[in-house]
Structure 1
């Protein structure tokens, strides 16, 4: 006979323990054949210990509906979704039910409904989304008062801060937020908070060299390259914002970003290195050369999935950030391939 996995055994006994506790809390005059007036008094997450009433529930989690008159339950709805329940986990005063994972949370009724053979009762109950996901935002080099767009998921009734400073939301959908950058936001990170949690971006305001557009450069070029496309809008080829750099490149060739004018591109005094996101058409090695220093080539193993890489100052033989940088070269190894490069800037 197959053995049950321990986590399911523990979950079963936890549920049974709570169920028995609820039964024992009923008076001696109660029985499963006694039907009280139909009412929902509270909803609590099914956890061991003291049950804490809540008006917010999360899909795929079990909750206990407490009240009376539940004998003969026929249907349970969360946000109008017909939700499965086990009739053996129903008494006159309690129902154990798991919220369906596909229960909607946006533009929903925020209503729990229990239908019995003796009537129907409703209860205000909000279905929360998963915790927010902050994928990217742009423009990164935004000044106070500029409107930036934050991209991600599960932005239900969001609050946005830059560092600890609240920001004014202009508009939002479940996947995008347009927000005004507050004063003093430079070098801070945006955070989106909902009833389900918080998510913070990993790129600081004002640290971009390339973010859908280039900042403070002379131009791009190189050798052995073709099809240099910085207006890319194919979602699968973009890591940050809505555009990325796409370069078809031959073996042992290089894509170069020049920043020599006006003494070079200024480097933030608190920068720890140069960051970028990159992927290739096929796994290969890529070398990065900064400021024309071919004596300190930094090699990375790049895959077909976007990842974030950092050239640390120590990789370049430096003990701290230089005042400026004049160029960045992305060089191929012995493979003809395609570079996808995005979100170039400074790591703090």
Structure 2
């Protein structure tokens, strides 16, 4: 499929170039008569949309890295360099006529705090054109505190937060609600939680698109501290680690487990589960290993086995893979790390961001 797309893109560019060269040949007299500095008149995308349709060949003033564009104007024959925001992008000299250049915007082109200028540099001078490079669609890696209340400040972490717009995301029954942005950088946004935000999902948008957080406000069971009556008794012999390596917030649980050892969290009883489709938890370990997720004491009912690495990984556990899901009474994490011969081995596990997953 990838090769087909590449061939299709080349075919599309060939078609564009054919039109370009035909246009140039039909007007040789006027083209050869121009001898001044280069002039950019327009920029148009070329290639395919995500649905496979050909992009409309219409002028734009906003471009995306890793996509092809046709720069139209005059005086391009001796072009030596094309830059977007003063960062050079590649073009083939064979894809250049006096009136057109086909260029691929480099994926590393800066998009923030930039000049917003396209430049075509030739032996006869430099043409400058107002042109904005769009950032990638935002990514949201998490937010803290998850169980925030009205008026409380929350920090959202992720990437590509250029002039971000934050909302409580639209649902099947609720419209999107604007959220006040207190401050923002490209990787961090501080917001103020609006009214009626409980069990709503945060969405972050920039000019390229929108993305949603993976979990909802008010859905945390453990997020630096425990909620919903969760308790990890002291006899578990665990510790709380507080540093900037937490998957969520600043605090996570660390437990050195002997072979088949475990960590158990208890509730007195919690059965308000209607809004949720299951649970999620982030885990990593000192060494790659396995951890059994025993729900409500069902040791003999094939509890899920989680493959844990040395990097944080979030596991989603729908009610369908658990048993006795009319309530949450206890969760036990059991060390199932073993050698190739099946002998259990000691391992240290780190657990963070335990929470309920909201139904779609």
With the shorter chain as reference, the TM-score category is: 0.7 to 0.9
The whole-number CA distance in structure 1 between the counterparts of 2:265 and 2:64 is 47
In the alignment, structure 1 residue 174 sits paired with structure 2 residue 186: yes
Is residue 344 of structure 1 aligned with residue 354 of structure 2? yes
- Contact 2:282–2:354 (8 Å) recurs in 1: yes
Structure 1 pair 34–9 and aligned structure 2 pair: CA distance change class (3 A): farther
Tell me how far apart the structure 2 counterparts of residues 124 and 251 of structure 1 sit (CA, whole Å): 64
Query: Matched residues in 2 for 1:11 and 1:29: separation?
Result: 27
Matching residue of 2:7:
9
Shift of 1:202: 1.4
Show structure 2 runs of 5+ residues with no match.
48-53, 170-175, 337-343
Match of 1:272, SS state, is strand
Cross-structure match for 1:165:
177
Residues 1:303 and 2:308 are matched in the alignment? yes
Relative to structure 2, which stretch is displaced further, 65-74 or 209-218? 209-218
Match of 1:111 among 114, 117, 120: 117
Match of 1:125 in 2: 131
Q: Is the deviation greater in 56-65 or in 285-294?
A: 285-294
Matched, 1:193 2:205: yes
* Alpha-carbon offset, residue 297 of structure 1: 6.5
- 2:19 alignment partner in structure 1: 21
Correspondence for 1:39? 39
Q: 1:314 to 1:57 in 2, by over 3 A?
A: closer
Q: Identify if the C-alpha distance between structure 1 residues 331 and 232 changes in structure 2 by more than 3 Å, giving closer, same or farther.
A: farther
Match of 1:99 in 2: 105
The question of 1:315 aligning with 2:318 is answered no
Given the superposition, is the C-alpha separation of residues 160 and 72 from structure 1 closer, same or farther in structure 2, using an over 3 Å criterion?
Answer: same
Give 1:291 shift.
4.4
Q: Structure 1 segments of 4 or more deviating over 6 A?
A: none
Cα distance in 1 for partners of 2:87, 2:177 equals: 39
Aligned to 1:52: 58
Report how many residues are paired. 334
What secondary structure does 1:141 align onto? coil
Measure the CA separation in 2 of the matches of 1:188 and 1:158: 18
3-state secondary structure, aligned to 1:276: strand
- Inter-CA distance 141–6: structure 2 relative to 1 (3 Å threshold): closer
> Offset of 1:109 from its aligned partner?
0.7
Once residues 315 and 34 of structure 2 are traced to their aligned partners in structure 1, the CA distance between those partners, rounded to angstroms, is 61
Q: Tell me how far apart the structure 2 counterparts of residues 102 and 278 of structure 1 sit (CA, whole Å).
A: 32
1:141 and 1:206 in contact (8 A); partners too: yes
CA RMSD of aligned residues (A): 2.6
**Are residues 1:243 and 2:254 paired?**
no
Would the alpha carbon gap of residues 53 and 242 (structure 1) be closer, same or farther in structure 2, given more than 3 Å must change?
Answer: farther
TM-score (norm 2): 0.83
Specify whether residues 40 and 314 from structure 1 end up closer, same or farther in structure 2 by C-alpha distance, changes over 3 A only.
Answer: closer
Distance 1:143 1:36, change over 3 A: farther
Where 2:91 maps in the other structure, the secondary structure is coil
Q: Is the 8 A contact 2:304 2:321 kept in 1?
A: no
Counterpart of 1:150 (choices 156, 179, 187) is 156
2:51 corresponds to: none
In the alignment, which residue of structure 1 is the partner of 2:244? 233
Confirm or deny: 8 A CA contact 2:145 2:154 kept in the other structure: yes
**Is structure 2 residue 270 aligned with structure 1 residue 276?**
no
Quickly say closer, same or farther: Cα 1:5–1:332, change in 2 above 3 A: closer
Deviations 1:68-127, CA, capped at 9 Å, x for gaps: 222222332210123332222222211111112221111111110122233322111111
